[in-house]
Amino acid sequence: MAGRLEGKVALVTGAARGTGEVIARRFVDEGARVAIGDVLDEPAAQVAASLGDAAMALHLDVTSPEDWRAAVDATVARFGKLDVLVNNAAVLHLAALEDTPPDAFERLLRVNLMGPFLGMQAAAPALRDAGRGAIVNVGSVDALQGKNGVAAYAASKWGLRGLAKVAAVELGRGGTRVNTVCPEAGSGDMIRPYVPEGVDPEFVHGLGQPFLRYQRDREHGERLGDVANMVLFLASDESLSCTGSDFAVDSGNTELNRVKGAPGA
């Protein structure tokens, strides 16, 4: 049976580990060939090697326009075209607004917002040539709500949603769709520096309030798989009517509220 991304070529940023790695593996499972772009060269090379001929590793710092140009050129040279760009790479800084250093704020905007902007600019012509291009941005639940401790991160991720909507209008003419996935769960590596010693960073992911009774029994890896499945759907021709939209993968935690004592609780 043909895979859901059979014949597609994708570039996934930040795919040396975590969510991006899960996305890259899922894409290859579904028949895609994938370029794995990251600043972590050795882990990226290992992920690519484990995927055989269907993958290649690229040194890609998403804040560098030169790296972006070289990454798109290398992907097209190796695999013949580019159908899908996944802007997944990002960094985190957790601090109260009043304690957030301006350079940390700027760094998050550079990686999490300017990175995808530069990627869209660099990839747009190749995606247009492919005919049915797709850009999928990995946002966050912090792009859908206000929460303490994430001033820089939320600003970058809300900005990314806005950028995606403009890109959806402008690139849609050339047949490219642009959507944003807003997960609750992510890699433990990203939040580990902020989790107290002795607490498993994966335990704090994707649990929220128990709106879905089975969610607490599921493995962290299964929740990352849910994120990858949403990215897969938006990257594939199964979602040709979807553009300019945000897709939460959060067990309902940003939209729902169970009021104890009220009917139906």
Q: Between 18 and 159, name the residue whose CB sits nearer to ligand NAD.
A: 18
In sequence order, the β-bridge partners of residue 57 are 36
Interface residue with ligand NAD, options 119, 159, 186, 208 (CB under 6 A) = 186
Which 51-90 residues touch ligand NAD, going by CB under 6 A? 60-63, 88-90
Q: Does 17 interact with ligand NAD (rule: CB under 6 A)?
A: yes
Q: How far apart are CA 191 and CA 18, in angstroms?
A: 11
Question: CA 92 → CA 139, 152, 187, 188, 197, distances in Å?
Answer: 12, 8, 11, 12, 18
> Which position's Cβ is nearest ligand NAD?
186
d(CA 89, CA 84): 15
DSSP state of 265: -
Q: Which stretch binds ligand NAD (CB under 6 A): 37-45, 76-84, 120-128, 144-152?
A: 37-45
Q: Where does residue 42 rank: exposed (0-12), middle (13-18), buried (19+ CB within 10 A)?
A: exposed
The distance of closest approach from Cβ of residue 221 to ligand NAD in the complex, given in angstroms and rounded to an integer, is: 12
Which residue out of 153, 155, 223, 247 is catalytically annotated? 153
Measured from the Cβ of residue 215, the count of other Cβ atoms closer than 10 Å reads 17
**225-264: contacts with ligand NAD (CB under 6 A):** none
Count residues near ligand NAD (CB under 6 A): 28
Q: How far apart are CA 229 and CA 185, in angstroms?
A: 13
Q: Which window, 70-78, 97-105, 179-187, 212-220, contacts ligand NAD (CB under 6 A)?
A: 179-187
Left, alpha or beta for 149 (phi > 0: left; psi -120 to 50: alpha)?
left
Q: Map the footprint of ligand NAD across residues 138-177, applying CB under 6 A.
A: 138, 140
Q: Which of 29, 30, 40, 149 binds ligand NAD (CB under 6 A)?
A: 40
Residues in the chain: 265
Q: How far apart are CA 93 and CA 104, in angstroms?
A: 7
Q: Which one of residues 14, 116, 119, 133 is an interface residue with ligand NAD (CB under 6 A)?
A: 14
Closest to 153 (Cα-Cα) out of 204, 96, 87: 96
Nearer to ligand NAD, 67 or 83 (CB): 67
153 is catalytic: yes
**Shortest approach of ligand NAD to residue 105 CB, angstroms?**
15
Q: Tell me which residues are annotated as active site.
A: 153
Residues lying near ligand NAD in the complex (CB under 6 A): 13-14, 16-20, 38-40, 60-63, 88-91, 111, 138, 140, 183, 186-187, 189-191, 205
